[in-house]
Structure 1
Amino acid sequence: MRRKLAAGNWKMNGLGDALVELRTLADAPAPNETDILICPPATLLSRAADAVRHSAVALGGQDCHANGSGAHTGEISAEMLRDAGASAVILGHSERREDHDEHDEDVRAKARAAWAAGLTAIVCMGESLAQREADNTLDIIGGQLAGSIPDNATGENLVVAYEPIWAIGTGRVPTIAQIGEVHDFIRARLERRFGPGVGRSVRLLYGGSVKPENASEIFSVPNVDGALVGGASLKSADFRAIIDALSAA
């Protein structure tokens, strides 16, 4: 039985006073069968670890370098994230793929590094609007699945997040049928590559303008095990509403 997961990606948002929202989230009762993960900017990670200590909220990083150490000014290794209090890391987000020209092989190398450090890799994938309109979505997702995920994946070290690029931060959301088609496709590909046991144990998240208003409908889709939430995770009240919708699904 896969546990549900509500993951919040704060992106490049949040100064010290944002920890108030995190403490409010941590002080709330733990939801049933639902894990909570917040990925703050790296500057807040160690302070966030203090804020959520002894609570149901776990922490993650937003990216990591493929190497464990070295002359990589401004970069952060998976080991550093783990040392600061992270248990997971987001990899291959479309903003990294587009803004930093990251490719599937880069994401794959980072996932290996995350696993070596004991972190769960949340590997993101998704299509552009042009690719969606050209009916290339499943081809794009299939290629990203094959290229971005290393061998030896398990339900403990891997989470897959489907984030259609055209829906991130735009307010546009795919139809329920479109979300279901992609999540079913991802599940089938994982089962075919890693076997039914592993393939069925990997959690699949939907991301792309998830809000309290649409969360329940999205979570009703089979093979949607949770969400990777952007802006709505910055306010504890909004994120808590999404968590409650997921817990009730």
Structure 2
Amino acid sequence: MFAGFLASSIGEESTVDVAVFPTSLAVSGVADIMKDTKIKVGVQNIYPADSGAFTGEISASMLTELYIDYVLVGHSERRQLFGETDAQTNEKIKAILKNGLTPILCIGETLEERKANLTNSVLERQLKAGLMGFAKEEASRVIIAYEPVWAIGTGVVATPDQAEETMKYIRQFLAGLYDGDFAESIRILYGGSIKPDNFDSLVAMEDIDGGLVGGASLLESFVQLVAIARNHA
């Protein structure tokens, strides 16, 4: 099982934070494998209500009995394919924080929005709505993941300079929402066609704190990505 391979290959590393996000059917089994390692486990989505008639959904409160630490929120596929709104993303973050878990808020622009010079306004909207109603202390528990939609699963990756420019803008905007100390301390990840041959130059950038890895996380090369991150820790 791939989870067992990761546990034996990088499970004892402690210099960087590593988390895996299996499908819902595999979460329990993977969490059990990882519980005695340094690797954390997250889920790809939750429903914001703790209980109710929501057939097929998983609530954040259901996860508290498992070895779960993280929850992805607002991934572009959730937004585009399932119509998830900024308001729904905000509700999910509230539920995640209430249950003691860490949300990873995904933000990013489409190719059309980038070509129309709307990148900054799109990110501002997503950040402002996603963090609406959260005091600085609550918001500091959120991790931001910048994933340009045009780079997800396409093989196209933002250049280090493109990614750094956008990440720096994100920090500036967050400083305006809260303050400079908050903007400096919050973790911001880059996602979008990350591979061992491009990750080193990305994570070397000042404002990129790590990666949210897609397809490469399903391959043995994920171990290489962890090693690269460790070199920059």
1:27-76 CA deviation, whole Å, 9 max, x = no partner? Answer: 23533531000011111111111111210100001011111111001110
Does the Cα contact within 8 Å between 1:212 and 1:242 map onto a contact in 2?
yes
How many percent of aligned residue pairs carry the same amino acid? 35
Structure 2: which 5+ residue stretches go unaligned? none
Quick one: distance in 2 between partners of 1:149 and 1:27? Answer: 37
TM-score, normalised by the number of residues in structure 2: 0.94
Q: 1:92 aligns with which of 66, 74, 94?
A: 74
Other structure's SS at 1:173 match: coil
Aligned to 2:6: 25
Does the Cα contact within 8 Å between 1:90 and 1:124 map onto a contact in 2?
yes
Aligned to 2:116: 134
Does the Cα contact within 8 Å between 1:31 and 1:244 map onto a contact in 2?
no
Matches within 5 A, 1:70-89: 70-89=52-71
TM-score, normalised by the number of residues in structure 1: 0.88
Does the Cα contact within 8 Å between 2:4 and 2:33 map onto a contact in 1?
yes
Quick one: distance in 1 between partners of 2:200 and 2:136? Answer: 29
| Higher-RCO chain (CA-CA 8 Å, sequence separation at least 6) | 1
The answer to whether 1:146 aligns with 2:137 is no
Matches within 5 A, 1:1-249: 20-29=1-10, 30-31=12-13, 33-150=15-132, 151-154=134-137, 157-235=141-219, 237-249=220-232
Quick one: distance in 2 between partners of 1:188 and 1:58? Answer: 29
Letter paired with 2:129 = G
Other structure's SS at 1:28 match: helix
Quick one: distance in 2 between partners of 1:68 and 1:211? Answer: 37
Q: 1:148 to 1:238 in 2, by over 3 A?
A: same
Of the structure 1 ranges 48-57 and 88-97, higher mean CA displacement relative to structure 2 is found in: 48-57
Does the Cα contact within 8 Å between 2:153 and 2:215 map onto a contact in 1?
yes
Which structure has the highest helix share of the two? 2
1:62-109 CA deviation, whole Å, 9 max, x = no partner? Answer: 011111111001110011123232111000000000111011111001
Aligned CA RMSD, in angstroms, stands at: 1.4
Letter paired with 1:43 = L
CA deviation after TM superposition for structure 1 residue 22, in Å: 1.2
Quick one: distance in 2 between partners of 1:135 and 1:156? Answer: 29
Quick one: distance in 2 between partners of 1:81 and 1:129? Answer: 35
Other structure's SS at 1:34 match: coil
Quick one: distance in 2 between partners of 1:96 and 1:146? Answer: 18
Does the Cα contact within 8 Å between 1:108 and 1:148 map onto a contact in 2?
yes
Structure 1: which 5+ residue stretches go unaligned? 1-19
Does the Cα contact within 8 Å between 2:106 and 2:145 map onto a contact in 1?
yes
Quick one: distance in 1 between partners of 2:25 and 2:64? Answer: 14
Does the Cα contact within 8 Å between 1:42 and 1:61 map onto a contact in 2?
yes
